[in-house]
Structure 1
């Protein structure tokens, strides 16, 4: 059944991926009407999250942001599909690194790098960074239940010289690479909610105390990695700019959880500046004190 589903869906995805961007965004406008106006996909979750996190805004102001968010969500979903066939020149034109030289200097230290980022703006097109880096890139993700679609995602990432590893594979991969002196760069989307019982640290995020992921910080301390924050800004429809900010070059000298707390503050700043580009459909505040 999973294979049949894959055979049915794959031609549709591929057909969408070869559409020119103007037509792709016309399709996105149509999908928006279905997802937001008709189905109301996760609208309850989005409104609850915004009510918790955006207390400085009125209900009417949050509704305006809500609609903008769903428009962006549909754009991003179709941009993810576009990744199947997008050219190197096109993605590099649309996802630009403002200060890549900051990261390049870190590679000269012969230390692996941990990139901390949020589910904000275009977190899928970050994969284009692998066109520039000398290190082997690894993206950490949650495995897709359908093995055929999971394989498809892996094949797409291989275009960019990027390897996908599941959360369970992350620690063994880092250990192996460290032992073999294989310099690598690991992407951690560290803003989502961990399981409550597995949390080692609670911190305030948008004014609410929640459990937070600390893996990027702790693994960087243990395996002597530099840590950077990747901030992505949506310039206009289909165009993004990324800025790299060094969090630390000496993780072991920083008190535990301070790096994670600093990361959360930077994500908060992003959200406050333009909340419509954050991924509000995830239940980020399902565990809170």
Structure 2
């Protein structure tokens, strides 16, 4: 792995082109899931257009794979050059006020590079919540990648405990808020990309309890290997917030929907985002 990650990105992208041909045309990795997700999300598009979007996604996905691998050896200077933040003052102004910030991100663009680059933009202040992998080898491998530049990882199950223990620290805590929330998570349901969709409500609950400001993190590929990140304030942490109104989950869903529609091939369509169905409330 290290030897492969040591190759220049220009060489890794040649490998990515081969991976693209393999997963899109030979293995057809999760082709049915990808095309079904695209078809339901863009009902106005015909089958030719859906297939073109699917191929665009597989090309993007193949490049993401080698970019994530490159985190093992990429220099600080190169990562900073390849990932630019449009408006870091949204975060730094809150840090200057002594505030901890919740950052709501998604599986768009290169989500792994954002946190690693964030450790450069905001030294000692970039933490990320994650769900540990069941495979010990890949869990260790991904943990090392994610923390190599100085970011700190917080297991999802330990989020509340970590916030209480480190309540006096000024930092950002990143949440990938577009994962498929199941019934046990008591999700918020809304219409998202023309589908009934469940969202985690952790940001609403934590912001209401700790009065944390919340920002949306957007990312867009500028060209191959280069990304632009921007921040959009969702909640200032000052006004009262009802954790049961799910205002933040709804704002996040609307902003993410716009971003996906603007760059549809850059979202993680192989993820089974809509595997859960809403359970009807029992009749009174």
| Same fold? TM cut 0.5 | yes
User: Displacement, 1:174?
Assistant: 1.2
For residues 69 and 88 of structure 2, the distance between their equivalents in structure 1, rounded to whole angstroms, comes to 26
Residue 223, structure 1, aligned to residue 210, structure 2: yes
Residue 7 of structure 1 is matched in structure 2 by none
Query: Under a length normalisation based on structure 1, what TM-score does the superposition of the two structures give?
Result: 0.91
Aligned counterpart in structure 2 of residue 283 of structure 1, from 249, 263, 272: 272
Asked whether the 8 Å contact 1:214–1:257 carries over to 2, the reply is yes
Structure 1 stretches of 4+ with a deviation exceeding 3 A read none
1:165 aligned partner: 154
2:80 and 2:193 map into 1 onto residues whose CA distance is 32
CA distance in 1, matches of 2:271, 2:238: 29
Does the CA contact (< 8 Å) of 2:203 and 2:248 recur in 1? no
Contact 1:135 1:183 in 2 (8 A): no
Q: What's the offset of the Cα at 1:15?
A: 1.8
Higher mean alpha-carbon deviation, 112-121 vs 129-138, is at: 129-138
Name the structure where helix makes up a greater proportion of residues: 1
Q: SS in structure 2 opposite 1:124? A: helix
Q: Which runs of 5+ in 1 are unaligned?
A: 1-12
Q: Alpha carbon RMSD of aligned pairs, Å?
A: 1.5
Aligned to 1:175, which of 148, 164, 169? 164
Q: Answer yes or no: is 1:118 the counterpart of 2:103.
A: no
Say if 2:101 and 2:171, in contact at 8 Å, map to a contact too: yes
Q: What are the ranges of 5 or more consecutive residues in structure 2 without an aligned counterpart? A: 279-284
* SS in structure 1 at match of 2:74: coil
Task: Please say if 1:46 is aligned against 2:30.
Answer: no
Q: Distance in 2 between matches of 1:283 and 1:154?
A: 23
Q: Which residue of 2 aligns with 1:210?
A: 197
User: Which digits, 9 at most, give the CA deviation of each residue in 1:154-175, with x for residues without a partner?
Assistant: 2333322211122112121112
Which residue is 1:189 aligned to? Answer: 176
Checking the alignment, whether the CA contact within 8 Å between 2:124 and 2:150 is kept in structure 1 is no
Match of 2:185 in 1: 198
Is 1:36 matched with 2:18?
no
* 1:199-252 CA distance string (max 9 Å, x none): 242111112222210101211221121100011011111110001111111265
